[in-house]
């Protein structure tokens, strides 16, 4: 378990949290409305939650694949890369931001995802830790509003004062997300440990997602379920 984050350590860019990249700087500035750090962090959260689409198949465990600039380049990301983007944008605007992880049991998935992963336990589920008003708060910008509406889950809001983590049940009272264990919060992505755990738990996952379209499969499965 890492030591508690020091806010002063969570401002500098890294190869993954590339808050000094020109496109990250541009995006962060464009979505920073001014005001207090809390107001600015909240605005960046919503810009990334809904402006960058969630792609559960877009898992690339490389520095480039997880980087904030890459998420902006392709306009989509999964929980880890979207959390990285929020951290990078906040650092670019002078707001200390780290990266947090938890193991979760996630009941929102596609048939392909369940088959390739062999489990509904998601190791290293990512969120952003933000230093606001003298405390660390969790912000999880992964699922965009449109995806939440399709799956009938609560859209995850963030006010900058309370932790923003997923609800245990969806809008119909079915199980949605259970947090099994927190892995702690880090200044940068613990990429080597993440790679080792993914290789151990999901040996066929990335091969199974190659060429697959997450949005298309979500639409097909939602339509079949409603029919």
As a whole number of angstroms, the distance between CA 194 and CA 14 comes to: 17
224 pLDDT higher than 80? no
Average the pLDDT over each of 7-11, 158-162, 183-187, 202-206 and give the range with the smallest value: 202-206
CATH 3.10.620, applies to 10-220: yes
pLDDT band at residue 10, thresholds of 50, 70 and 90? very high
Q: What is the reported pLDDT for 208?
A: 64
Query: How distant is the alpha carbon of residue 32 from its chain centre?
Result: 19
- 184-215 pLDDT, tens digit each: 999 999 999 999 999 999 987 766 677 788 88
| Global pTM exceeds 0.85 | yes
- 15-24 pLDDT, tens digit each: 999 999 999 9
pLDDT band at residue 103, thresholds of 50, 70 and 90? very high
pLDDT band at residue 1, thresholds of 50, 70 and 90? low
Structural domain boundaries in the chain: 10-220
27 pLDDT higher than 90? yes
- 28-66 pLDDT, tens digit each: 999 999 999 999 999 999 999 999 999 999 999 999 999
């Amino acid at each position: 378990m890492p030591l508690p984050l020091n806010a002063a350590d969570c401002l500098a860019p890294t190869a993954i949290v590339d808050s000094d990249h020109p496109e990250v700087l541009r995006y962060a500035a464009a979505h920073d409305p001014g005001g207090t750090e809390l107001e600015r962090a909240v605005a960046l959260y919503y810009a990334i939650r809904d402006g960058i689409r969630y792609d559960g198949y877009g898992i690339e465990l490389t520095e480039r694949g997880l980087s904030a600039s890459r998420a902006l380049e392709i306009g989509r990301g999964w929980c880890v890369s979207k959390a990285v983007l929020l951290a990078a944008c906040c650092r670019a605007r002078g707001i200390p931001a780290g990266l947090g992880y938890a193991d979760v049991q996630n009941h929102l998935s596609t048939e392909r995802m369940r088959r390739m992963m062999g489990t509904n336990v998601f190791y290293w589920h990512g969120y952003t830790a933000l230093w606001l008003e003298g405390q660390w708060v969790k912000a999880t910008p992964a699922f965009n509003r449109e995806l939440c509406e399709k799956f009938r889950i609560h859209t995850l809001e963030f006010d900058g004062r309370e932790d923003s983590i997923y609800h245990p049940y969806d809008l119909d009272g079915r199980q949605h997300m259970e947090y099994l264990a927190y892995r702690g919060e880090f200044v940068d992505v613990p990429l080597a440990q993440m790679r080792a755990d993914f290789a151990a738990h999901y040996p066929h996952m990335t091969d199974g997602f190659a060429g697959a379209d997450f949005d298309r499969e979500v639409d097909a499965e939602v339509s079949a379920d409603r029919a």
